[in-house]
Amino acid sequence: MTYCVAIAVAAGSVFVSDSRTHAGVDQISIYSKMHRFDAGPGRQFVMLSAGNLATAQSVVARMERDVEARGHLGLLSANSLEQAAEYIGRLSVEEQQKHRQAHADKSFFPEASFILGGEISGAAPGVLHIYAEGNFVRASQAMPYLQIGEIKYGRPLLDRIISWETPLDAALKCALVSMDSTLRNNATVGPPIEYLVLPAGTRSQGLYRLMQEDDEHLVELRRAWSDNLRIAFDALPGAPGLAGLIGPSAARITRLEVS
Amino acid sequence: MTYCVAIAVAAGSVFVSDSRTHAGVDQISIYSKMHRFDAGPGRQFVMLSAGNLATAQSVVARMERDVEARGHLGLLSANSLEQAAEYIGRLSVEEQQKHRQAHADKSFFPEASFILGGEISGAAPGVLHIYAEGNFVRASQAMPYLQIGEIKYGRPLLDRIISWETPLDAALKCALVSMDSTLRNNATVGPPIEYLVLPAGTRSQGLYRLMQEDDEHLVELRRAWSDNLRIAFDALPGAPGLAGLIGPSAARITRLEVS
C-alpha cells in the first residue's frame, strides 16, 4: 500500500509521501514514491505515485527519457499541468495494457494512480489527481487537497484543518500528522517519509526533505500530537445522565489555552 | 454503509451505532442497527449490525422468536457470549445462503456482520465480532474495541485513546467522537446516533440514548472537538528549514493547558 497527500493552498503546495511497497506481507521494500523532474528554467514538476510499482516505474522512466530526448513530447512542451497530466495518463494506460494483456491471471492488478503538481511559467500552479484510467481532476479552492493510496485514516484531520487560506507551514504540519495517523493504522504504509514544499510564484526549487523513522522532527511531532490530542480529548464535555450510573465524572472543562 | 463501534474496558462496555442504510444513493432510509434483547433476569444482550439489512433483520427476528418461544434455543440457554455468538453466526450463515441461492446476480451481497455484547450471570462480560462467515473473535485487554462497517475514519482516535483502563465516560466520549469523524467523511453513515453504556457487574439495564442530528450534547461535543482539535494542531511544532523559504512562522508552542 501507499499513502501520498498533496495540498494546494493560496501560498503554494505541499507534497508528502511514504516509501513502503509490498507484494505480500513477506516481501516489503523501500521505494520512493516522490518523483521530481527538472524540465528546464521556469518548469518544475513533482509526481507522487500509488498502485502497481512496475507500472509507476515504467511511467516515470518514459517521462525521464522524453525529457532527456529534448523532443516535443512530455513535460518540456506542456503548456499547463493539464497537458502534462494528459500525457502522463496516456503513458500510464499504455503501460497497464501492455502487462494486462500478457497476464491472464485475474489477481494481477497493473493499475497505478498519480498526483501531479508543480509550476509552469505563466500557467496556474496546482495539484492534479491522475486516475488509473488516465483521466484527471484538479484540486480546487473548495477542496484543496488530494490523496492516493490508503486515504481514510489520514483524512479527518485534513478535512477539519485545510482550507485555501491555510499558511504553507500549517499545510505541511497537517500533511505530516495525516501521514503519521496512517502509519500507525496501516502496516503497509511506512517510512522514510519525503516532503516537498513549493511556495507559489517563487520558482524556487522549494524545500525537500527525507525523514527516516527516527528523524528528530518526526519524533517530536508525533509525541506532541499524541500529547495534544489527549489534552484536547480530555477537555471535551461528558455525556449527560452518566453520573447516576457510574458516579460523578471529572469536572467539565471546555476551554484550552496555550502557554 | 454503517458505522458501529463497541468498547469493552475494565469498567464496562459502550456501544454506539448510526442509523443510515442505503440501496443506491437515492434510496436512503433510517433503521436502527442497535438491537437489545430481554432474555430474563441476569441475562442481557445487545447486538450491532452491519451489511445487508434484510439478512440482519431476519437474524434479529429469528433471535426474538426463539426468545419468545422460551425453548432451549438461543439467548435464553447460552452459557457464555461465545455460545450466543455461535448461535447468531449459524442463523446469519443460514439467512445468507437462503438468498444467495435464490439469486444468481453477482452484484448481490447478502453478507452481514455483527457485534455482540452483554452480560450473563457468572460468565465474563465482553464484546465479540461475528463475521459474515459465522465465526467470531472477542475483544481483548490489548485490543479493547471492535468496529464494523466504515471503520477507518473513526479509528485513529480510538487507537490513541482507548485502553483497558479507560473510564467508562471517556470510552463513551471517544466512541461518539469516532462516530462524528465518520459522519463527516462518509455520506452513507448518518444520524440518529444510538448509544448504550453497560457498567460491568451491575446488571442494570445501563444507559441508553438516541440522539437526533440536532441533539444538544452531540452539537456541543462536535463544536468542542472541532475547537480543541484546532488548538491542539496549532500548538504543534513547525518543520525545520521552512523559515528561510516562506518567512518566520508563528512562535513555536508545544504546551497546552486547561483553564
Is the pLDDT reported for residue B56 higher than 60? Answer: yes
Counting Cα atoms < 13 Å in the Cβ hemisphere of A249 gives: 23
Contact B220 A237 (CB under 8 A): yes
How far is residue B139's CA from residue B126's CA, in Å, rounded to a whole number? Answer: 7
Quick one: which of B208, B189, B91, B90 has its CA closest to B147?
A: B189
Average pLDDT over residues B228-248: 84
CA–CA min distance A204, chain B (Å): 9
Domains of chain A: 3-213 (3.60.20.10), 215-259 (no CATH)
Residues of chain B contacting A229 with CB distance shorter than 8 Å: 157, 160-161, 229, 232
Q: What is the mean pLDDT of residues A101-119?
A: 84
Mean pLDDT of the B237-256 span: 68
> For the segment A117-166, what is each residue's pLDDT rounded down to a tens digit?
998 887 778 999 999 999 999 999 999 999 999 999 999 999 999 999 99
Which chain A residues are within 8 Å of B228, Cβ to Cβ?
Answer: 231-233, 235-236, 256
What is chain A's mean pLDDT, rounded?
A: 89
Cα separations in angstroms, B62 against A28, B43, B58, B69, B177 = 46, 18, 6, 10, 33
CB–CB of A228 and B232 under 8 A? yes
Which pLDDT tens digit goes with each residue over A190-242?
999 999 999 988 777 889 999 999 999 999 999 999 999 999 999 999 888 88
- DSSP labels, A24-40: STT-EEE---EEEEE-S
pLDDT (0 to 100) of residue A25: 73
Q: Half-sphere exposure of A154 toward its Cβ, with a 13 Å CA cutoff? A: 29
Contact call for residues B71 and B26 (beta carbons, < 8 A):
no
Strand pairing partners for B3? B149
Question: Measured between CB atoms, which of A168, A199, A259 is closest to B255?
Answer: A259
pLDDT of B108 = 82
8 Å CB contact of B242 and A168: yes
Q: What is the pLDDT of residue B251?
A: 44
Amino acid letter at B133? Answer: E
Which stretch of A213-222, B16-25, B190-199 has the lowest confidence by average pLDDT? B16-25
**pTM for this model (two decimals):** 0.90
> What is the average pLDDT score of chain B?
89
Handedness of CA B185, B187, B189, B190 (dihedral sign): positive
Query: Which chain A residues touch B239 with a CB distance below 8 Å?
Result: 169, 172-173, 176, 195, 209, 217
Residue found under cell 485490543 = B143
Condensed to tens digits (0 to 9), the pLDDT of residues B89-125 reads 999 999 999 877 766 667 788 999 999 999 888 777 8
Identify the residue with better confidence: A78 or B24.
A78
pLDDT at B38 (0 to 100): 83
- Residue numbers in A near B185 (CB within 8 A): 152, 155-156, 159
Residue % of chain B over a pLDDT of 70: 93
Mutation pick from B174, B245, B253, B259 vs chain A, by most beta carbons of A within 10 Å, is B245
Kindly indicate the confidence band of residue B133, based on its pLDDT and cuts at 50, 70 and 90: very high
Q: Is the Cβ pair A160, B230 closer than 8 Å?
A: yes
Kind of pairing, strands B207-211 and B193-199? antiparallel
Whether residue B173 and residue A240 make contact (CB cut-off 8 A), yes or no, is no
Q: Is B77 exposed, middle or buried (0-12, 13-18, 19+ CB in 10 A)?
A: middle
Position B123 scores a pLDDT of 79
The three grid cell numbers given for residue B234, joined into one nine-digit string: 496549532
